[in-house]
Amino acid sequence: MTPDQISDIWNLISHAIHETYPIAADCRLPRRDGTAFRHFPKSCSIFPMCLILRNDINGAQLHRRLRTIFAQFNRAYHLDFACFRKTVEQLQTDWLGNDPDAVNVAAAVIGRHLWSVLRCWQLGRNRGRGLRNPDELVQCLQDADFRNLARELANMTIENLQPDNTTSILQVIRKLSVSIHGDNGTLVYPTKALMLLWPHLPAFDSRVRNGLAKIPGRSSLRESVNWNNPNGSRAINKLTMTISVLGNFWHDHHDQLLNALAQTDHQPFHEWWDAFPGRVLDMFFFHADAAALTHWQNCDILEHARA
């Protein structure tokens, strides 16, 4: 096959993706120049985009604006988070261990504390929306399959969560969703619970979703997904890609985010931030100002990207 024929085929693929996914309306696939790109495998079902901080303002201006965004976040929100994380740290070994009695006791304490924090964070304010009870959340945490998934997540970092490696975290979100709300598919409180249990992703509440949606070139992440149709749900595909994009964003910009955060009144909690990227991203995207400092750029898709 000649280089021209390869180029024609590549352009056809680009056009097909362009027509299928309006989100990519202003984008085209890049040339296949042999440069490997770590983020996205060839099998991605949504046009790949990278989220980056603005590079058209100088470093001092960017630092000041990042600092302003973090300074707007209410420190009181850290209290529930800090208290719950201490509970998890004290009981995680028992919870993820093999002694059935220790597992049940630890899961009961963690589950009831988790339920209490979620209620403080306004769980059930919309007439419950199919709200279950704390016993079902405890049973979820005691479940052997869930604990196996929790062990997998404990050995992963946010950067590991690429589109071909999100099965475990999607299963965890679904199980938390069922135990908190039934099967209505809402993402808000299951992802809040996930952020508390495994603080490597932000909670996808309305403030964070709106913060992501305000960035030019990206459509919004839905509040709910159809878990009963995991292979055909575009909402799940978008969730998968959003998780991956946030992992890459943290990989590329965590030093800038942490340096700005360290110079705010959140500084007393600084020992958390490097270990809890989800909490930092939650703070960042909680305020719409973050949208003005970020933009989407096109990413390469290469056959050997995940080799």
**Structure confidence by residue, pLDDT tens digits, 147-192:** 999 999 988 888 887 767 788 898 999 999 999 987 667 888 999 9
pLDDT at residue 264, rounded to an integer: 86
Average pLDDT over residues 87-93: 94
Average pLDDT over residues 265-284: 81
pLDDT at residue 4, rounded to an integer: 58
Residues 46 and 135: their CA atoms lie apart, in Å, by: 38
Specify the residue for token string 């770590």: 38
Take residue 180 and report the two structure tokens written for it: 């908190």
Contact 220, 212 (CB under 8 A): yes
The pLDDT confidence band at residue 23, using thresholds 50, 70 and 90, is very low
15-19, 149-153, 169-173, 257-261: which has the minimum mean pLDDT? 15-19
- Greater confidence, 75 or 32? 75
Residues 229 and 300: their CA atoms lie apart, in Å, by: 29
pLDDT at residue 267, rounded to an integer: 64
Checking if the pLDDT of 70 tops 50, the result is yes
pLDDT at residue 184, rounded to an integer: 67
Contact 129, 186 (CB under 8 A): yes
The pLDDT confidence band at residue 302, using thresholds 50, 70 and 90, is very low
The pLDDT confidence band at residue 298, using thresholds 50, 70 and 90, is low
Q: Is 296 helix (H, G, I), strand (E, B) or coil?
A: strand
The pLDDT mean for the chain works out to 77
Residue 30 amino acid letter: P
Q: What angle do CA 143, 156, 240 make, to 5 degrees?
A: 85
Contact 301, 70 (CB under 8 A): no
- At CB < 8 A and 24+ separation, what contacts does 93-101 make? 95/141, 95/147, 95/150, 96/147, 96/150, 96/151, 96/154
Checking if the pLDDT of 64 tops 80, the result is yes
Contact 213, 219 (CB under 8 A): yes
Residues 87 and 275: their CA atoms lie apart, in Å, by: 16
Contact 140, 107 (CB under 8 A): no
The pLDDT confidence band at residue 244, using thresholds 50, 70 and 90, is confident
**Pure H helices in the chain:** 3-20, 59-71, 77-95, 100-120, 134-142, 144-154, 167-181, 188-197, 206-213, 234-261, 270-273, 277-286, 289-292
Phi, psi (rounded to 5 degrees) for 303: -60, -30
Checking if the pLDDT of 78 tops 50, the result is yes
Q: Is 54 helix (H, G, I), strand (E, B) or coil?
A: coil
- Greater confidence, 206 or 227? 206
**What share of the chain has pLDDT > 90, as a percent?**
28
- Greater confidence, 276 or 212? 276
Specify the residue for token string 């400092």: 293
Checking if the pLDDT of 287 tops 70, the result is yes
Checking if the pLDDT of 36 tops 50, the result is no
Take residue 92 and report the two structure tokens written for it: 């995680």
Average pLDDT over residues 207-225: 75
pLDDT at residue 2, rounded to an integer: 57
DSSP 186: B
Residue 69 amino acid letter: I
The pLDDT confidence band at residue 113, using thresholds 50, 70 and 90, is very high
Question: CA-based Rg of the chain, rounded to a whole angstrom?
Answer: 20
Q: What angle do CA 202, 208, 213 make, to 5 degrees?
A: 130
Checking if the pLDDT of 138 tops 90, the result is yes
